[in-house]
Structure 1
């Protein structure tokens, strides 16, 4: 996966130490409510389209950019699904990341879904009942996208 230039610049200063990064999870549903998944080239697991926001980039713009980059589809963003801070993760190169994930529901407006970059090896539409296991935060976003009246999800504040 290509690492954004701004992250490379930050990593040159902080090494592998934990870095908070904003990311998007795009749930793309077609007019039959099939969900678009990509098979990641790094893990070979199916996933929703995800990516890191660029500095100053609005989440909806970032979600639409990531979907186009990975699948060749142009989308419109319809609504916020979830905002979630994920547990600290470690990338294969040792970089530690605190992701703040913003889930958004998207609908295709133009293009045909296909592998459009080196981040995935396969792209396919799935009926919701046939979606392979997804990470918990992605599964939550998909569930919220399929429920038309669901409010945006966030973790309840922890009281001390």
Structure 2
């Protein structure tokens, strides 16, 4: 994952300490009911598209931007699927630690052709729901909820 400039600035004084950060993820469907996935350069695994909003950027705008930056697909955000603080921090190969509050959005493709569009992806492509590559529960959970008509999912248990 490319590190945004504002995080580089924070890391210059925070070092590798745990940062609590906003995140967005996009479950993008095309007109044929396929879902857009990218094979991540940092882990080698397939996942839905996501990233970190810029300061002041709205979650829906960030999701649309991330989808285009990573896949060259134009999309529109349709609704919030879920809001979830991830319980385990992510530890990156350089030692940076982050914990994300993810806002996941259902999006609809409106243009562009899926292709690798930056250094964050090794491959991108459209997948029928009955032919998904191996995905972590993070992505599967979001895809399942994006297929429903809602309501927005969030954890209601004390302590998350």
TM-score range, shorter chain: over 0.9
Partner SS for 1:115: coil
Mean CA deviation greater in 37-46 or 55-64: 37-46
Q: Distance in 1 between matches of 2:15 and 2:98?
A: 12
Q: Distance in 1 between matches of 2:54 and 2:78?
A: 21
Matched length:
158
Distance change >3 Å, CA 18–CA 58, structure 1 → 2 = same
Q: Distance in 1 between matches of 2:53 and 2:121?
A: 18
Q: Distance in 1 between matches of 2:58 and 2:3?
A: 19
Partner SS for 1:81: strand
Q: Distance in 1 between matches of 2:41 and 2:16?
A: 22
Which residue in the other structure is 1:38 paired with? 38
Partner SS for 2:158: coil
Q: Tell me, yes or no, if structure 1 residue 93 matches structure 2 residue 82.
A: no
Which residue in the other structure is 2:81 paired with? 81
Distance change >3 Å, CA 133–CA 156, structure 1 → 2 = farther
- Residues 20, 97 of structure 1: 8 Å contact kept: yes
Spell out structure 1 runs of 4+ moving beyond 3 A.
none
Superposed, 1:7-156 pairs within 5 Å as 7-86=7-86, 87-147=88-148, 149-156=149-156
Partner SS for 1:60: helix
Unaligned runs of 5+ in 2: none
RMSD of aligned Cα (Å):
1.1
Q: Distance in 1 between matches of 2:92 and 2:58?
A: 24
Q: Distance in 2 between matches of 1:136 and 1:154?
A: 16
Partner SS for 2:8: helix
TM-score by length of 1: 0.94
